[in-house]
Amino acid sequence: MPTEKAVAHHWRRFSERYGLIGSRCTSCKHYFYPTSIICPKCRRKGKIEEFKFSGKGNIFSYTTIRIAPEGFEKYTPYVVAIVELEEGAMVVSQVVDCSPDDVSIGMPVESTFRKIREEGKSGLILYGFKFRPLK
Amino acid sequence: MKAGIVGYGAYIPRLRIKSSNIAKVWSADPELEAKMINEKTVPNMDEDCATMAVEAARSAILRAGIDPMKIGAVYIGSESHPYVVKSTSSIIGEAVGATPNMMAADLEFACKAGTSAIQIVNSHVLAGKIEYGLAGGSDTAQGRPGDALEYTAAAGAAMFVVGKKDVVATIDSTLSYVTDTPDFWRREGEEFPRHGGRFTGEPGYFKHILGATEGILSETGTTVKDYDYFVFHQPNAKFPLSAAKMLGIPKEKVLTGLLFPKIGNTYSAASILGLCNVLDTATPGSRILMTSFGSGAGSDSFTMTVTDKIGDRRDMAAPVSQMIERKEYIDYATYARYKEKIKGVL
Ligand SMILES: [Zn+2]
């Protein structure tokens, strides 16, 4: 059974996972996902603000998962990629709506709203972004 | 001042199963079943009522071109809400960035819950209570394996931003027709619905579709000739065409809004996905009459007029035709795994 603490932990991340919301440093124009509260480059001079990413990007690198961690077994084989968002940030995410053979480095993708994981039959359903090939 | 549709969005999942594949598994005659339906949509394992509604809602907001914080209400109709207790509307509101200042509720009225949602939001807008509201239907329908419903129970969503400013179609009038009719039901805790078999057509679908459609024609003082498009609930291809015939509507006026042969019965999304396809193609000035049907039973009718704003807004999101063409076929074994369905076999 998930603990109260686990529910609260998921809950705090709902908005960033649902909306692909991270942050950016307005001083040096660096983008962060997940949100960074301090700019590693500008340090104290950095100005950080919340930022909603467009959801468009390209595949920077990827791998095919054949032996999945708990909760993801039913999806195998599936692709997990590092996606370089058009604003510059890198995110790790599942790539859906295509077979592993269709995926290549540099492939344009867009975000889509999906179920990420279910905590068993009676637990929470965790939603968030994944990526799919750009039509 | 009238309210209307400011933005519309459809979502049709990518997976399909051919009805001939389902028929083979149950030793039914594939050709016989194929006459009723060619193929239907299947949700992927990571798709449900909420994810499809969010995708459709995002397209509707893109087309509306509005700040989602201006959305003052989210109502979603479905018979496959992911939770029995825990709202789908709050998930949608959060995902599109409309929370926290919004009214919200999940609605159920079988396949007419989506149009009920639109009526409620339309009323809030007309009353001046909210500037914009988001409403529609989304379903991942379930049929017991081997049951006639299994050939048709499909998945899809359609969502609408309703408001008064810059509408792509005015909602000119709406009227409902409801009676207590036990044609189709599913009890709490039961996985699959039951239906009254042969009983479903006459006192269910036809009585209510005709009741609402004739009612709105009479109330608005219009006739079939005044409309360019008719959209009816489509649990199969035959019922909407038969209803049209009874009402004296030429077949051509029904076909644009009839998606059943290509996607199946998307329940709460069925009539409104048909409406999305009409909005993808209709020219300014076109008049639309849509009537939904939900078992239990009732129908909601709407009369609408397309405005000259449609041209700018249509291309802001993917059209229904593109989502119908973008598909991947799966076989019955994969389908059963995706729907986690094998356990339903008695
Ligand atoms: Zn910086």
Contact indicator for A118, A75 with CB cutoff of 8 Å: no
Q: What is the pLDDT of residue B199?
A: 60
Mean pLDDT of A84-88: 95
What DSSP assignment string belongs to B193-220?
-EE-GGGGIIIIIIHHHHHHHHHHHHHH
**pLDDT of the residue at B48:** 96
Q: Are residues B159 and B14 both part of a single domain?
A: yes
Q: Beta-carbon neighbour count of residue B254 at 10 Å?
A: 21
Structure tokens at B127: 């009353």
How sure is the predictor about A77, in pLDDT bands with cuts at 50, 70 and 90? very high
**Residue entry with tokens 């100005």:** A47
pLDDT tier, A13 (very low <50, low <70, confident <90, very high otherwise): confident
Q: Is the pLDDT of residue B342 over 60?
A: no
Neighbours of A93 (CB within 10 A): 22
My answer on whether B259 and B285 are in the same domain is: yes
Distance from CA of A117 to the nearest CA of B (A): 8
| B202 is an active site residue | no
Confidence of residue B334 (pLDDT cuts 50, 70, 90): confident
Label residue B41 exposed, middle or buried (CB < 10 Å: 0-12, 13-18, 19+). Answer: buried
| Distances in whole angstroms, Cα of residue B169 to Cα of each of A83, B48, B71, B165, B217 | 38, 29, 18, 11, 18
Average pLDDT over residues B73-78: 98
* pLDDT confidence band for B32 (50 / 70 / 90): low
Share the mean pLDDT of chain A: 92
Please report the pLDDT score of residue A44 as a whole number: 87
Residues B205 and B301 grouped into a single domain: yes
> What's the average model confidence in pLDDT over A110-120?
93
User: CA–CA separation, A108 vs A62, rounded Å?
Assistant: 13
Q: What is the mean pLDDT of residues B170-197?
A: 85
- Answer yes or no: B214 catalytic: no
The answer to whether the CB atoms of B55 and A125 lie below 8 A apart is no
Which domain does A92 fall in, by range? 2-133
**Spatial CA neighbour of B110 closest among B280, B27, B203, B233:** B233
Work out the mean pLDDT of chain B and round it to a whole number. 92
CA distances to A127, B54, B138 from B10, in Å: 20, 10, 10
**3-class DSSP state for residue B118?**
helix
How far from A34 is each of A11, A18, A63, A117, CA to CA, in Å? Answer: 15, 12, 21, 19
Residues B302 and B314 in one domain: no
Angle of CA points B251, B225, B126, to nearest 5° = 105
Determine, for residues A113 and B326 on separate chains, whether the beta-carbon distance falls below 8 Å. no
What pLDDT does B345 receive? Answer: 39
**Do B253 and B318 fall within a single domain?**
no
Tell me, yes or no, whether B164 and B107 share the same domain: yes
Burial track B167-177 (b if 16+ CB lie within 10 A, e otherwise): bbbbbbebbbb
pLDDT of residue B277: 98
The C-alpha of B54 sits at a distance from chain A's nearest C-alpha, in angstroms, of 7
Question: What's residue B137's pLDDT?
Answer: 98
Residue numbers of the domain that contains B79: 4-169+310-338
Number of domains in chain A: 1
Q: Does residue B70 have a pLDDT over 60?
A: yes
Q: Nearest-CA neighbor of B95 among B124, B125, B138? A: B138
Q: Note whether B110 and B270 are within 8 A (CB).
A: no
Q: Which helix (H) or strand (E) holds A119?
A: none
**Which residues on chain A are in Cβ contact (under 8 Å) with B44?**
96-97, 114
Which of the residues B79, B124, B195, B208 is marked catalytic?
Answer: B79
pLDDT above 90 covers a percentage of chain B that reads 77
Indicate the pLDDT class of residue B335, thresholds 50, 70 and 90. confident
Q: How many domains does chain B have?
A: 2
**Does B345 reside within a domain?**
no
State in Å: Cα A14 to ligand 1 middle. Answer: 26
- List, as own/partner pairs, every contact residues B17-22 make where C-beta atoms lie below 8 angstroms and the sequence separation is at least 24, other chains included: B17/B42, B17/B329, B17/B330, B17/B331, B17/B332, B17/B335, B18/B329, B19/B151, B21/B331, B21/B332, B21/B335, B22/B150, B22/B151, B22/B332, B22/B335
Q: Is the dihedral of CA B9, B14, B19, B22 positive or negative?
A: negative
B93 neighbors B70 (Cβ within 8 angstroms): no
- pLDDT bucket at B21, cuts 50 / 70 / 90: confident
- What's the pLDDT score for residue B30? 63
Tell me how far the alpha carbon of residue B69 lies from the centroid of ligand 1, in angstroms: 28
pLDDT at residue B219 tops 80: yes
* Out of A19, A74, A127, closest to residue B50 by CB: A127
CB count in 10 Å sphere of residue A41:
11
Average pLDDT over residues A50-78: 93
- State whether B21 and B145 are in the same domain: yes
Is the pLDDT at B286 greater than 90? The verdict is yes
The mean-pLDDT minimum among B143-147, B157-161, B163-167 falls in B143-147
Give the containing element (helix H, strand E) for B242. helix B238-247
- Same domain for B35 and B53, yes or no, is yes
Q: Are residues B107 and B226 in the same domain?
A: no
Instruction: Find residue A129's DSSP bridge partners.
Output: A113
**Given an 8 Å threshold on Cβ–Cβ distance, is A135 in contact with B326?**
yes
- The predicted structure's pLDDT at residue B325: 96
Distance CA B292, CA B269 (A): 10
CATH code of the domain covering residue B331: 3.40.47.10
Strands (E), chain B: 4-11, 15-18, 39-42, 71-77, 103-107, 132-140, 155-163, 169-181, 184-185, 194-195, 229-232, 287-291, 296-306, 328-329
Rounded to whole angstroms, how far apart are CA atoms B106 and B279? 25
Question: Do residue B117 and residue B180 come from a single domain?
Answer: no
Question: Which token pair is B67?
Answer: 């700040």
Kindly state whether residues B164 and B181 are assigned to the same domain.
no
Q: B326 contacts in A (CB within 8 Å)?
A: 135
Active site residue B233: yes
Q: Are B278 and B288 in contact (CB under 8 A)?
A: yes
pLDDT classification of B346: cutoffs 50, 70, 90: very low
Residue from B195, B208, B233, B276 carrying the catalytic annotation: B233
pLDDT value of position B141: 84
**CA trace torsion B21, B23, B140, B132 (10° rounding):** 90
> What pLDDT is recorded for position B218?
98
Residues B120 and B177 in one domain: no
Tally C-beta pairs within 8 A across A and B. Answer: 47
**B-chain residues within 8 Å CB-CB of A52?**
97
